[in-house]
Amino acid sequence: MVNFMKFLCLMLLSIFSFNQTAFSKNLSIDETIFKDVDGIDFKLSNLPGKIILIVNTASNCGFTKQYKELQELTSRYSSADLSIIAIPSNDFGNQEPGSNAEIKDFCESRYGITFPVMSKQIIKGQNKHSFYTWVEDNYGSKKLPTWNFHKYLINRKGELLHSMSSHVAPSSKKFISNIELSLK
């Protein structure tokens, strides 16, 4: 019985140690690559900002008006401080059915978007983009988006600073406070 208890304690300790290691893993900014709406490889390491805001987006969503607020953030915080990228996805409510060219046209003509927009990505399920796999592996499935316009603030070291749901508007005090605290 004593040997079994020692074995059980060692197993629990190894599981706990594994989870502690998993939660401390930083995103590799140099190795995280998306394709932009024009089909060109886009590395997060090429972004100039001190912090990176990654937002999964959709053109036909009730939260689509957040594009305007994201563009205002781009204007308010120079690219030297904050870099935003949009990750369009059709995974929630089929609200991004268009082609990459249609997404690009929508973002530019409707909202005057100047921040990078990636090609449409899968962000849930087994074939999700490696960024979302990193989120799940290191922070659990509860940190994955449950709808369009989920936001992640990441610093240049690859540390996840904040994960904010669709309901947290980019113009809200909470959101602005998270950005300003992250920039310090």
Catalytic residue among 44, 52, 55, 61: 61
* Residue 117 vs residues 13, 30, 31: alpha-carbon distances, Å: 43, 18, 18
The rounded distance, in Å, linking the Cα atoms of 31 and 69 is 29
* Residue 87 vs residues 6, 31, 95, 130: alpha-carbon distances, Å: 48, 17, 13, 13
Q: Is 9 a catalytic residue?
A: no
The rounded distance, in Å, linking the Cα atoms of 91 and 61 is 12
Q: Compute CA 43 distance to the chain's CA centroid, rounded to the nearest angstrom.
A: 14
Which residues are tagged catalytic? 61
